Amino acid sequence: MKKLVLGVLGLLVSSDALAQKFQDWTTTRGVNSDVVAAETANDSSGYFGMLCYISSQDCYWALVIEPTCENGSSYPVMANTDAGAQSLELTCIHVGKEGVDKLMVFRDFDAISELAKKGSRVGFAVPMKGGQFRVMRFSLLGASAASERASELTVRAQSKNTRDLTL
């Protein structure tokens, strides 16, 4: 199950690929993958992390959570650390074969980047149908170093790319 979820967060990045540990976080890049991921798991098999695409040089913060969501729909989320709380927005993206796996991508990259650098733990509360909330907690120990390493690997991989470009 862990390899499957790691594959979803890393958009099918092999978990046996080049991995580097930063306290509770891991940075991975699949051998033949366009994605570099910095990620952590919680005790409930949820995943939180940053995905960087080498070809576009774009990075996104995302959650992998169990409940279903509608592709392209936006959802509110409350983020809370020992450094403060913040209201944010997630967008659901279906990935994998036939869109069966779901990522919740944060719309405000900078806000999540700042949260990841502060505190030792983050909690997310996502409203669900029927007046319930899904609450997830993740360690932030190593998040800053892992996300910086993922960004660095993304830039370095692009500079070694021999793909033709049109400027």
DSSP E strand stretches across the chain: 18-22, 25-29, 35-41, 47-53, 58-64, 74-81, 84-95, 101-106, 121-127, 133-139
With beta carbons less than 8 A apart as the criterion, state whether 79 and 88 touch: yes
pLDDT in tens, 31-65: 778 899 999 999 988 999 999 999 899 999 999 87
Domain boundaries, the chain: 2-159
User: Does the pLDDT value for residue 1 go beyond 70?
Assistant: no
User: Does the pLDDT value for residue 143 go beyond 70?
Assistant: yes
pLDDT in tens, 96-118: 666 567 789 999 999 999 998 88
The rounded mean pLDDT for the chain is 83
Percent of the chain with pLDDT over 90: 50
User: Does the pLDDT value for residue 81 go beyond 60?
Assistant: yes
Q: How far apart are CA 37 and CA 150, in angstroms?
A: 6
pLDDT the model gives residue 127: 87
Secondary structure class of 119 (helix, strand, coil): coil
CA angle 5, 7, 8 (to 5 degrees): 65
DSSP readout, 29-62?
A: E-TT-SEEEEEEE-TTS-EEEEEEETTTTEEEEE
Average pLDDT over residues 13-38: 81
pLDDT the model gives residue 123: 96
Q: What CATH topology corresponds to 2-159?
A: Immunoglobulin-like (2.60.40)
User: Does the pLDDT value for residue 4 go beyond 50?
Assistant: no
